[in-house]
C-alpha cells in the first residue's frame, strides 16, 4: 500500500495551480474537466504519480470558496533550507504565516505558508 494523493477543494482553480506550480515548484501532472458533474480535477506533484504522492485540487464550478473547518491541519513539504525557501516563496507572492525558525519546544526548523484558499503548508527543513 502507498498514499496516492491528498485532495483539497479550491475556489479558483487557476490561482491554485499557479500557487502550487509557481510558488511551491510543483508540476501540473494532469487535469480533466467533468462537465456532467460540473467539476474539474487537477493533479500536481514533485514527480511521477507512480512513485510520488500527488496533490489533487478539486474545483467545483459552482463554488468559489470553502469553510476550512477545524479538522484539517496542514500539508508538509521538506525543503533543504527553510529560511531560503520562505524567502523564495515570499518573492514569488506567497503568504508566509509563520516565519522560519525552530518549532515550539523543539529544534526542528520550520515555517508555514498559506495557499490562495487559506490551506496551510508546513515547510520542514531536511534533517542532516
Q: Residues with catalytic annotation?
A: 122
* Cβ-based neighbour number of residue 26 at 10 Å: 19
Place of cell 501540473: 28
- C-beta of residue 63 within 8 angstroms of C-beta of residue 11: yes
Burial of 124 (0-12, 13-18, 19+ CB in 10 A): middle
Amino acid at each position: 500500500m502507498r498514499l496516492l494523493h491528498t485532495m483539497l477543494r479550491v475556489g479558483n482553480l487557476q490561482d491554485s495551480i499557479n500557487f502550487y506550480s509557481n510558488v511551491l515548484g510543483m508540476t501540473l501532472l494532469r487535469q480533466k474537466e467533468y462537465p456532467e458533474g460540473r467539476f474539474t480535477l487537477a493533479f500536481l506533484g514533485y514527480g511521477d504519480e507512480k512513485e510520488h504522492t500527488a496533490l489533487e485540487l478539486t474545483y467545483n464550478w459552482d463554488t468559489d470558496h470553502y469553510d476550512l473547518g477545524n479538522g484539517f491541519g496542514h500539508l508538509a513539504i521538506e525543503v533543504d533550507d527553510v529560511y531560503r525557501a520562505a524567502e523564495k516563496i515570499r518573492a514569488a507572492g506567497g503568504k508566509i504565516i509563520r516565519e522560519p525558525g525552530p518549532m515550539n519546544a523543539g529544534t526542528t526548523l520550520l515555517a508555514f505558508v498559506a495557499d490562495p484558499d487559506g490551506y496551510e503548508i508546513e515547510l520542514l527543513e531536511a534533517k542532516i
